[in-house]
Amino acid sequence: MRRTKIVATIGPASDSVETLSALIKAGVNVFRLNFSHGLADEQRQRAHRIRELAAELGRHVALLGDLQGPKIRLRKLPDDAIALKKAQTLVLDTDLEDGAGDSGHVGVDYPPLPESVSAGDILLLDDGRFRLVVEKVEGNRVHTRSESTGTLKSRKGINKLGGGLSAPALTAKDLQDVKVAAELALDYVAISFPSGAADIEYARSELTKAGCIADVIGKVERAEAVADPATLDALIEACDGIMVARGDLGVEIGDANLIAYQKLMIKRARQLNRVVITATQMMESMISSPLPTRAEVFDVANAVLDGTDAVMLSAETAAGQYPVETVEAMASTCVGAEQSPSIRRSGHRMDREFVSAEEAVAMGAMYTANHLQGVKALIALTESGKTPLLMSRISSGLPIYAVSGHQTTCNRVCLYRGVRPVYMETAKYTPEELIPAVVAHLRDKGLVNTGDTVLFTHGDNVGVGGCTNTLKILNV
């Protein structure tokens, strides 16, 4: 069983019934709806189509809505692009409207820009492809000198080297998309460009107001978010999970520094009992090639070895020529990396105190799994998915079956590393009948076999979340 989960972005190349069905069969665990592209009705159609296909195929998949956020961008340029040359002067003007200006004078959709920069600052456009040095600021105009040559297109993002350009966590568009997320009962909502925990808390409050029950994923993509360990930890703890969003973050802190931060973020997310997605350009060459490069294979494998819960595909599946082949290649890479003995054991939290009975039972189960000979699987009877989440923070190489009577819980655990959701109508059994019924259900599905030793966790108060207090060692 592949333990690392795959997040695939849906777009024009992949939203047909045939392709979505093939993607589910190829191993997609979470589908990402990118609210930066497409109308709300398109996202509704995609969400309903995915839910229907997953039900037909007998699979559980999660839906993640990724809010656009306050990305700082150029306005629409004259003729949709300009030719930029090295040493050329380019004026960034917050007063210019879409389509106005010329090759040396363009609009910016970020009014605070003149107050946020000063002479000598470096601005990075289009994910760092263009580098501008600020020479002076006059009113609402920022005069820069280009250090790059190429064709600069409309709507490209702007970053400041080292960070320092920030905006409110949710835009007016995001607040409308939050209502769509609530309507569609999305499992996860990703918050773009948070500067710290306060942005996540604000976003969560707006989600709650809209009636959205989704877990919150914070996209770590600003230099401010990783400025110091306390800020990063607070951001992680404010979320239900994080995304290592390597595009904008790499631009702001430099790709060379990003390597260590990726490893740190994966480690801290696991230590703080949060899920973590590693994203951006993981198999980018497969947008136009049927095979990944060896470097891309090693990039995905490295994230798996670091302990990421999931690896994510963006344009590869949204707009690429080979969406299904890309998922298959990524799945194969994950399985290959998971064969490394080094990631089948871990000492996570073994030297620390636990804060709840639920966590103590989950950690006890994983300790037993790693030290009792012959254990074949772990079974967590769960209402909310919290116990299998805690279990998944420790590596064992064994499958964790999250058995729940709630479809929403089954969908949510699709993102947890090493956890497989199993839906079962648990409410129709008495407490005395439930445990043998669950084991029999898993045996009938071929997930465990007669004679297997399994670890089983549950709570005395069946049907109540957060009450796991029992670990049993059972023979099937």
Enzyme catalytic residues: 32, 73, 219, 280
- Contacts of 106 by beta carbon, 8 Å cutoff, 6+ apart: 74, 75, 77, 82, 90, 91, 92, 93, 96
Q: How far apart are CA 53 and CA 57, in angstroms?
A: 6
Three-class SS of residue 70? coil
Q: How far apart are CA 70 and CA 43, in angstroms?
A: 20
**What does residue 387 show for φ and ψ, rounded to 5 degrees?**
-65, -50
Beta strands in 302-362 (DSSP E): 310-313
Identify residue 364 by its one-letter amino acid code. Answer: G
Residue matched to tokens 């199993």: 422
110-141 burial, b at 16+ Cβ within 10 Å, e below that, comes to beebbebbeeebebbbbebebbbebeebeeeb
Q: Apex CA 373: angle with CA 371 and CA 375, to 5°?
A: 95
Q: How far apart are CA 258 and CA 374, in angstroms?
A: 41
Beta strands in 192-285 (DSSP E): 215-220, 241-245, 275-279
* Token pair in block for residue 69: 């956020």
In angstroms, what is the C-alpha Rg of the chain? Answer: 24
Residue matched to tokens 């093939």: 22
Chain-centroid distance, C-alpha 444: 33
Residue matched to tokens 């809209």: 210
Closest CA to 107 of 77, 128, 82: 77
Q: How far apart are CA 62 and CA 348, in angstroms?
A: 26
Q: Apex CA 364: angle with CA 378 and CA 456, to 5°?
A: 30
160 sits in the region (left: phi over 0; alpha: psi -120 to 50; else beta) called beta
305 sits in the region (left: phi over 0; alpha: psi -120 to 50; else beta) called alpha
Neighbours of 290 (CB within 10 A): 11
